[in-house]
Structure formats: structure tokens, C-alpha cells
Amino acid sequence: MPPRTRPTRPLALPGALVLATALMTAGLTGCSALSPFNTCDDTEARLKELRSQSILDSTPEGATAPKGLDSVDSRCIDDTGDAWLYAARVYAFPGSRQEVVDFYRTAAKADGWRLRPDPGDLSTPETTAGLCFTKGGDGDALLLTVQFITAEDLKFEHDYDAGPEFDSGPGFEIEVGSETDGAKVGCWD
């Protein structure tokens, strides 16, 4: 007769409980505990790539960068638990919003960007909503937005007092953004 052994408790259940708890905690806190790409560590090369996007310097004739905001602002932000990289420029323009929209529809397309209209709100004109484009595949995906801004927006977002250049037409901000690992991202996700 074989010797009696104590029944063993499977280790799978405690392991599954630990994993479930970790996943639930990550979900409730808005952090991705399992993602290695949720911080700004080692993102300088990707930021350099964003800053070098030629579309950031493409503007409709007459657009000017306000003094003090005349260079590319690029950063990695990870204050939400999911890091995001961006490079942006601000411009004042003496023409109309429609001229800005028409310019970027053409310039972005020529640079390989694909326009992505908001499928949930096709009734809002682009002169109000702005534009959103995507480029690249998984691993090198980029997002391009063109948004109209006011002097009040500049004060709130950049702590910048707009000068008279914003009195004669719309201001706009053009931004190229990316996940830290270049994963695909959509305009309306």
C-alpha cells in the first residue's frame, strides 16, 4: 500500500488571484502595470523624430509664429500613467480658418498623412473642429492635429499673452504626437 500523502493545494488558484488583483488595480488606477512603455524613459530619439517632421514648419503664406513661441515645443507627458510624446508649433494667421484647413488638407496629403474625419460627428465643420491625420504603421505610427486657438487658449495652455498678431485672424496649433513605442493610434479612439 502506498504511503499516505497529504493532498496538495494547486498553486494555480493563488497565482491567478494575484494576477487578477494586479490587473484590476492597474485598471482602477488608470496605470498599465504590465506595459513597459508607460513612462518617458528613453524617449529622446522618438521626440527628435517628432521634432523633425517637416509638416511642423509648413504653413499657409502669411502665418507667423508669435515671439516666444517661435520654436517647436516637444515633450513626453506621463502624468496619466500612459506616456504620450508630442511636438507642436503655434501660429497666427491673417487669413481665414478655411484657408488654414485647405492648406493642411493639401500639405499633409502631399507629406503622406491620411485625413481621418470624426465618424461620430460629421456635422461639425473642420473650421471649428480642426483636422486630424495619421501616418505610419505599428511601431512608427504618428498622429497629426491642427486645432484653432484663441488668445485665451494661449494664456491657459502656454501662459502666453497673445499680441496683436492674433487680432487679425485665427491662431492655430499644429501637433505631431505618438505613443512612446510608436504603436498605432487613431484620431477618435
Give the residue numbers spanning the domain of 77: 44-179
* Residue 10, in any domain of the structure: no
What is the C-alpha radius of gyration for the chain, rounded to an integer number of angstroms? 23
- The domain tally of the chain equals 1
pLDDT recorded at residue 114: 96
Name the nearest CA neighbour of 69 among 157, 177, 176: 157
* Residue 187, in any domain of the structure: no
Confidence bin at 168 (pLDDT 50/70/90): confident
* Residue 35, in any domain of the structure: no
> What is the value of pTM for the model shown?
0.76
* Residue 22, in any domain of the structure: no
Name the nearest CA neighbour of 60 among 101, 98, 103, 89: 103
* Residue 33, in any domain of the structure: no
Confidence bin at 31 (pLDDT 50/70/90): very low
* Residue 56, in any domain of the structure: yes
* Residue 135, in any domain of the structure: yes
* Residue 148, in any domain of the structure: yes
Confidence bin at 103 (pLDDT 50/70/90): very high
Among 25-34, 91-100, 114-123, the minimum mean pLDDT is found in 25-34
